[in-house]
Chain A
Amino acid sequence: MKKLINLLRGYVEIEAIGAFPERLLNLCAQNRLQFWKLCWIDATSFTFRIALSDRKRLDELAQRSMCRLTERGRRGAAAVAQGILQRRWGFVAGVVFCFVAVSFLSQFLLVIEVTGNETTPTAVILSQLQRVGVRPGAYGPSIPEKEAANAALLGLPELSYMAINIYGTRAEVVVHEAEKKPKLLDESTPADIVAEVDGIIEDIQAEAGRPMFQDGDIVAKGEVLITGDLDLKEPEGGTVDLGHLIVRAVGSVTARTWRTLEETIPLTCQVKAYTGEERTGYGVKILWFDVDFFQNSSISDGRYDKITKTEQLVLFGRAFPVWLTTTTLRGYTLEERPLDQEQASVRLEQALAARLDGLLEANQGEVLRADFTAKEEDGRLTVTLLAECREKIGRTIERPGETGRHF
């Protein structure tokens, strides 16, 4: 054990020569300089070992005892370290520099991980965090985690909670999404329910207000179906004016409607014909530094597709703030080509059907019958859709004033 400790501490093997070398030993003992492995060479010299840390004090004692010391060698971990420091200072400086650099650079954020979001996109949260200073490249210790989270929350009403935890180069952002506020029914603003389209009423239900039509009536677009203005009739023979009760009309009106939609397309179109000219350029983004190897390259005649593909560096399942951007320019010319009429007709029918679905979806409607007619005129194809539908045609239109009784 002692040998091991001596090896770790490092020691020097010394040869002492003098008229009375025993004096040196006595002085060492008096000054508590531990020595070992004492070997007598002759009457005036001997060798021994002392700890590296006692080397300087030994020189003083040798001077007092009039002995000459010669170092025979240095051994042990501390001696090796001292040797490296003296001979390979460049290497040592490099190691120290690397250590300091790693210690310092590991304080900068490289990765920001967002967890807990389901409907709010991560990019939106990262963008907001960037505004409050939490971004790749930011100096971690300078970020006040709590304050930054509160500041970011102010700009994200869809979140109810945010916590930022910084672990070295990684920032973990934990969020909780807020419950959506229910839409409150506004009962203070008076409103009527009017017809959104023409139709034949199949069912009219008024929860508030008075229906102006009955089932089977034909209504035109814009007509009031359920009015919010209720005329309070005074009893027969009465002389008191009871006035009007203004309410916000609520109800549903289901009607059979006929919708006519039309789409037109020219029978010739311009098609891209790729010239075969293609250029690819690369760019690298590290943290917020952009290195563009592509510069301002373009294709001479000016018509080209620009396809940009950005990939983030992912190592061992972790994304790092290094992005490689590949930009491809593909040159083309425009050529006039005739369209296949049948194909064009089918495409227009599909487009019309999609439009109708979009209109009916908002009104909870359904298509009862649909007829398409196509005609060609002046080099253009026109397809018309005539659809019989069942839908809710009532739409709330607010009116000025306030609800309540008015005289």
Chain B
Amino acid sequence: MGEKDGLLLRASRLFDLPADALAGAPRVEVVGDGELRMGPHRGILAYGPEEIHISGGSMVILVRGAGLELRAMTPEELLITGTITAVEFMR
């Protein structure tokens, strides 16, 4: 995490502001275990039916599961479907 990003994150926590809006932190939304939405993102780093690596800027989000599929992808958001077993954040 960059110094600037960390500062913005801390500021958002201090002032009780949404971190995704202020610091541009990725927002990950999981619906049940079958759908994952994420935005903003900085692209896919690795893709497979059991593991997808997504760049979130300051971190890498790793989605594990079975039969994973990238259903939609725009510059702002992406949608992954399949059976999601785990979401990991790697710094």
Contact with A32, one of B43, B45, B69, B75 (Cβ below 8 angstroms): B75
Contact yes or no, B70 A38, CB < 8 A: yes
**Number of chain A residues whose Cβ lies closer than 8 Å to a Cβ of chain B:** 17
Partner of B48, one of A23, A29, A32, A40: A40
**Residues on the A chain within 8 Å of B75, using CB:** 29-30, 32
Q: Within the assembled complex, what's the spacing in Å between the Cα atoms of A30 and B42?
A: 9
* Bound form: Cα–Cα A23–B73 in Å: 13
Chain B positions 9 through 47: 1 when the CB is less than 8 Å from some CB of chain A, otherwise 0: 000000000000000000000000000000000011111
- Which of B44, B45, B49, B75 counts the most chain A CB atoms within 10 A? B44
Interface size class of B (residues with CB under 8 A): 10 to 19
Q: Which of A35, A39, A40, A43 contacts B73 (CB 8 A)?
A: A35
Closest chain A CB from B80 CB (angstroms): 10
Distance in angstroms between the alpha carbons of A43 and B51 in the assembled complex: 12
Q: How many Cβ-Cβ contacts under 8 Å join chain A to chain B?
A: 38
Chain A residues in 8 Å Cβ range of B71:
36, 38
What distance in Å separates the Cβ of A28 from its nearest Cβ neighbour in chain B?
7
B45: chain A residues within 8 A (beta carbon): 22
Q: Which residues from A are CB-within-8-Å of B63?
A: none
CB nearest neighbor in A for B75: A30
Alpha-carbon separation in the docked complex, A38 to B48 (Å)? 10
Residue among A32, A34, A38, A39 having the largest count of chain B Cβ atoms under 10 Å: A38
Task: Type the 1/0 row for A130-170, where 1 means its CB is closer than 8 Å to any CB of B.
Answer: 00000000000000000000000000000000000000000
Contact pick for B70, options A23, A25, A30, A43, CB 8 Å:
A25
- Is A46 touching B47 in the complex (CB atoms < 8 A)? yes
Looking at the assembled complex, report how far the CB atom of B28 sits from the nearest CB atom of chain A, in whole angstroms: 17
Please measure, in the bound complex, the distance between the C-alpha atom of A32 and the C-alpha atom of B76, giving whole angstroms: 10
Chain B: minimal CB distance from A370 (Å): 110
Q: List 13 A-B contacts (CB under 8 A).
A: A21-B47, A23-B43, A25-B70, A25-B73, A29-B73, A30-B43, A30-B75, A34-B72, A35-B73, A38-B47, A38-B71, A40-B49, A46-B47
**B positions within 8 Å CB-CB of A:** 43-49, 69-75, 78
Chain A residues within CB distance 8 Å of chain B = 21-23, 25-26, 28-30, 32, 34-36, 38-40, 43, 46
